[in-house]
Amino acid sequence: MAQTPLLIVCLLFTGIAATTAQNCGCSSDLCCSKFGYCGTGADYCGNGCQAGPCYSSPNNGGSVADIVTQSFFDDIINQADSGCAGRRFYSRDAFLTAANYYPGPCYSYARREIAAFFGHVTHETGHFCYIEEIDGASKDYCDTTRTDWPCVSSRDYYGRGPLQLTWNYNYGAAGQAIGFDGLDAPETVTNDVVISFRTALWYWMNNCHSRITSGEGFGSTIRAINAIECDGGNTPAVNARVEYYSDYCSQFGVDPGDNLTC
């Protein structure tokens, strides 16, 4: 999983204005593309969209808190069993606190990117049930070839947190960027909920953010998070991620775009 400067958090700039349409005359449910044609989807509602339900319009912008409401968060976590460790760990407040560490310029895929992030988080944690990978301690996630991030004896680098941060080189780099000892104290990701969310956002910004904003599609982010599932490796898992993402896009009122699977 990878350093950061901007995220879904650009949404802190809440007033994203749509530009005036030029010779489009589209109906209210269609976007006027940068070339002056009416339609839906990224080619019409994405970069350069002049009017209509553009991804960059006020209807699709807003602050992170406006989009990730308590109701939205609760609808996810309440699907986890009451006995799940994550039910006593993850919170919307912790996510919003973590998100505030990643300010940056706004971009047009705000709600779509948040839907993608939470689609993966929902799948990775089982609706915020799991804080760490099941049977993770029995697996060896020490890449000894990464001498820049040497493994510490008796420390395990299995999946932890909302995006299941894994491998010594990710713990080391995330710790350096965020400010905790990822190599010597990887368990911090399961002990400090804000740091836990920050590691997920750190990984997202380094590996997934540009894939969404460049229009590569949700499927590309699946490959960035768990490539083993792609190319027939685990089709049910891929489909589950796509289903969550599509559902959240629907809730946020944005089109999921193309290239949904990997």
Query: Which active-site residues does the annotation give?
Result: 124
Q: Which helix (H) or strand (E) holds 42?
A: helix 42-45
The CA angle 168-172-177, to the nearest 5 degrees, is 150
Per DSSP, the three-state class of 73 is helix
Which tokens belong to 133?
């990978």
Q: Which residues contact 8 (CB under 8 A, 6 or more apart)?
A: 64, 99, 102, 110, 113, 114, 117, 201
Amino acid present at 3:
Q
